[in-house]
Amino acid sequence: MFKIIVVDNYDEASSEAFKVMKEEVVGNDKPVLGLATGSTPIGLYKKMQADHKANGTSYKNVVTFNLDEYIGLPKDHDQTYYTFMHENLFDGLDIPESNIHIPVGDSTDVPAECVKYEEAMKEYNIDIQLLGIGANGHIGFNEPGTSFDTLTHIVELKEKTRQDNARFFGSIDDVPTQAITMGISTILKSKKILMVATGENKADAIYGMIKGPISEDCPASALQNHDNVIVIVDKAAASKL
Ligand code: PGA
């Protein structure tokens, strides 16, 4: 079931998302947050850091699990999601490093890492999973055609996704070809989902997620099977609803 909140712009979307996140952080003894990378969550993460600094909101008991990570880059490479999350969120909070979970993309045994990651999530149960959406409807690195039964797994990145991310690398050739991602089944296990999307290029994907057929052609349409999804969209992303 979707609760849809339409706002005017990106900053308002970030503020609304922050309210939802803060409620989880202060409302649980041991909040378990599922987190995402990409450009969309940056505004939300800035607000979480600012709130921690100004109001002392504590993240000491917060446990996090990130959606995905590139395969093959060393952890401290400037384009890993490990680096992204520390720079954009964790370094500005009081969260203990041991509470942070991100798939280990340079593991010597990546299939075993996928199993280990899924097992770790089972122990905790994610209270809220933050998601962005790709223009093609992907969630995490689950591209169109991904089975809804998938757990944490290895994906070959589609050319389009590699191109979309090339702006963060020197050239398209430097973008990894594989990633580890939570599967669609993994994502659906979280108690609550928070989807944030802004801009006209997300309008088709948002339409497919909410009003389209439930189909592997639009991975986000799997969220129609979840009973608690909060969708925060600006007018442009909501324009086709
Ligand atoms: P974006 O990516 O936030 O950079 O638009 C979202 C996604 O591809 O999941």
Is the minimum distance from the CB of 132 to ligand 1 under 6 angstroms?
A: yes
Query: What pLDDT digit, counting tens, does each position of 162-209 carry?
Result: 888 888 888 899 999 999 999 999 999 999 999 999 999 999 999 999
Query: What pLDDT digit, counting tens, does each position of 114-151 carry?
Result: 999 999 999 999 999 999 999 999 999 999 999 999 99
Distance 27 CA to ligand 1 centre (A): 28
Helix boundaries (H) for 89-230: 110-124, 159-166, 184-188, 203-210
Distance 186 CA to ligand 1 centre (A): 19
The pLDDT assigned to 66 comes to: 98
- CB 21 within 8 Å of CB 49: no
Distance 29 CA to ligand 1 centre (A): 30
The pLDDT assigned to 165 comes to: 80
Report the range of poorest mean pLDDT among 53-62, 111-120, 154-163, 177-186.
Answer: 154-163
Ligand 1 atom closest to Cα of residue 36: 9
Residue 161 has pLDDT above 80, yes or no: no
Work out whether strand 128-131 and strand 63-66 pair parallel, antiparallel, or are unpaired.
unpaired
Give helix 10-27 / helix 42-55 axis angle, nearest 10°: 50
Is the minimum distance from the CB of 206 to ligand 1 under 6 angstroms?
A: no
Q: Per DSSP, what are the bridge partners of residue 84?
A: none
145 Rama class: left (phi>0) / alpha (psi -120 to 50) / beta:
left
Ligand 1 atom closest to Cα of residue 199: 5
The pLDDT assigned to 15 comes to: 98
The pLDDT assigned to 164 comes to: 80
Is the minimum distance from the CB of 133 to ligand 1 under 6 angstroms?
A: yes
Query: What pLDDT digit, counting tens, does each position of 83-95 carry?
Result: 999 999 999 999 9
CA distance 238 to 2: 13
The pLDDT assigned to 168 comes to: 84
